[in-house]
Structure 1
Amino acid sequence: MLLLLLQVLASCLWLGHSEVVTSFESSCPQFFFQNTPPNEALVPENPAWICQRYKNQYYFATLYDMSRRIPVYSAYIYQPGSGKRPNTWLIEPQVSVLSSYPKTMERERTLSKEIKITLEEIGKHQAVLQDYKNLTGLNRGHLNPNSHHSDFNSRTATFTLTNIVPQNEKLNGGAWNNYEQQTMIKNTKGCNNTYVVVGAVPGNNYIANGRVNKPSYIWASACCELNTKDRKTWAVIAENDRDEVKSLTLGELEDKLTQLYGRSRVSLFDSACPRK
């Protein structure tokens, strides 16, 4: 009986944890239009599929590149709201080859003190706070921005380093911020649901002594449900060394990413989302 109680307690405690999964379709498909994530053309050599969970709820999905220590993309449903900006940074020890590590989205110091995981172990397959210190001309750029979420917990969930890339400081605070705050509001008028995929194309440069890749491009795409039959889409892309965002159709972005990744044809959404 004691063993049974311990098993029940353990299962309850794990309800609040993020998860590295084998596929988004089987674990957190709700963040993708028609439960269809981008195709395999974007999958890196050393991937981690993360259902980002915080305080007993999924908030978004991230395909993470464990070799370059940056997200490939984050996918979420656009639900903006006003509120306080979180003042914390989280890491996810489940991005590890060691299954014994806990899967809680947590602060570095908490894991170090309470779970006794060293910073070296944490950083084997993901970025840590030290990687983003003493940057010049770059800062921590969200793919899934906290302002696109409606409550404090959902905004806090975006402050995980698996959702962050080294982004040009001027771009992050300038043209990209204008896209996130102004263009998205304008484009989503009349939308019942807006599914978003935001990503980063790996570049040739690194920060933190070669640990974390600096993306060459940042891109975003959206598929909006106007009603049960009609949908509209849009997309943007920005070079990560210029304060400029270029507007594209979804089809044009997929063409550009197919060229940049140099693999098979890129598809970001289900075919029901218009490409023009």
Structure 2
Amino acid sequence: MLGLLLLQVLASCLWLGHSEVVKSFEECPQFFYAETTPNDALNPKNPALICQRFNNSYHYATLYDRDRRIPVYSAYKYQPGDAKKPPEWWMVEPQLIDKNSIPDMERDWILIEQKKFTSDQIKESQAVHNDYKGLKGLDRGHLSPSGHQFSRESMMATFTLTNVVPQDRSLNKGEWNAYELKTMSKKTKGCKTTYVITGAVPGNTYIAEERVNRPSHIWSAACCLGDEEPKDAWGAIAENNKNEVEELSLKELEKRLTELYGGTVTLFSSACPRK
């Protein structure tokens, strides 16, 4: 009887740690205020829900579009720190290749050498490093940016290709960068915790021989908590072909996204202010 009980406990532990491409974000709910995810209006036809795991820890959550090979959004807590900038080790998600593979993100060459995946298998399942090589006027634009993470480990975890989109270079290095670093720092003063969801609206053009979608817009939303309850919320949106960022309320951002996605968009719990 004791042996059977031990087997049941072991099976339970293995199940809990098994898959980081998950069936629901209940596996990593801590990145969503009140454990409330955006509604289904953002969902692509062929989604993958990823609890972004690196070094045996979760760092943020990503809804990934398998067909367009870009993230729909990444959700995280805004926790900038003073950790040193990490090496840019661009990683991929093994469980997009095989759901029974290792749970942590990893560099493609390690998967090829140690896990015996082929480059074609990796390329079929998601965007790869070569898709972003030699691009003119475009950068790998982070949805969960390294500068919003507290530890060096969490910063490193943002360098996965399931967290980036082809972003206009002038925007990425210009006004969007200013929003991420300066505007967010100002707006979050007095916030005990700030939840952020940053996403990309699919566009009509592709890069890398039609493999990777170039989004038409980049957007971000934040919900700021005082002690325990939300006290403020805001948003930002930018067309992905010019160096301009429009700041707006959460209500205005959701309305704009509703028009762009063609269905009513709700990003946060109703407790987050929509004034």
CA 238–18 in structure 1, closer or farther in 2 if over 3 Å, else same: farther
Indicate yes or no: 2:94 matched with 1:93.
yes
Give the equivalent residue in structure 2 for 1:55: 55
Task: Measure the CA separation in 2 of the matches of 1:104 and 1:60.
Answer: 13
Task: Measure the CA separation in 2 of the matches of 1:258 and 1:29.
Answer: 24
Contact residue 51 and residue 61 of structure 2 kept, 8 A: yes
User: Over the residues paired in the alignment, what is the CA RMSD in angstroms?
Assistant: 1.9
Give the equivalent residue in structure 1 for 2:185: 185
Give the equivalent residue in structure 1 for 2:157: 157
Task: Measure the CA separation in 2 of the matches of 1:52 and 1:167.
Answer: 21
Q: Secondary structure at the match of 2:254?
A: helix
Q: CA deviation at 1:18?
A: 6.8
Contact residue 203 and residue 213 of structure 1 kept, 8 A: yes
Indicate yes or no: 2:239 matched with 1:234.
no
Task: Measure the CA separation in 1 of the matches of 2:192 and 2:254.
Answer: 24
Q: Secondary structure at the match of 1:124?
A: helix
Deviates more, 1:111-120 or 1:228-237: 228-237
Q: Secondary structure at the match of 1:154?
A: helix
TM-score, normalised with respect to structure 2: 0.92
Task: Measure the CA separation in 2 of the matches of 1:118 and 1:31.
Answer: 33
CA-to-aligned-CA distance 1:78-125 (integer Å, 9 cap, x gap): 0001222222111112113x4343333110100010111011101212
Contact residue 65 and residue 71 of structure 1 kept, 8 A: yes
Indicate yes or no: 2:146 matched with 1:146.
yes
Indicate yes or no: 2:268 matched with 1:269.
yes
For structure 2, the residue ranges without an aligned partner over 5 or more in a row are none
Aligned residue pairs, count: 266
Read off the aligned partner of 1:83 and give its amino acid letter: A
Task: Measure the CA separation in 2 of the matches of 1:198 and 1:187.
Answer: 16
Give the equivalent residue in structure 2 for 1:214: 214
Task: Measure the CA separation in 2 of the matches of 1:18 and 1:172.
Answer: 32
For structure 1, the residue ranges without an aligned partner over 5 or more in a row are none
Read off the aligned partner of 1:63 and give its amino acid letter: L
Read off the aligned partner of 1:39 and give its amino acid letter: N
Q: CA deviation at 1:228?
A: 2.9
Q: Secondary structure at the match of 1:111?
A: helix
Q: CA deviation at 1:227?
A: 2.5
Q: Secondary structure at the match of 1:131?
A: helix
- How does 1:19-58 map onto structure 2 within 5 Å? 19-24=20-25, 26-58=26-58
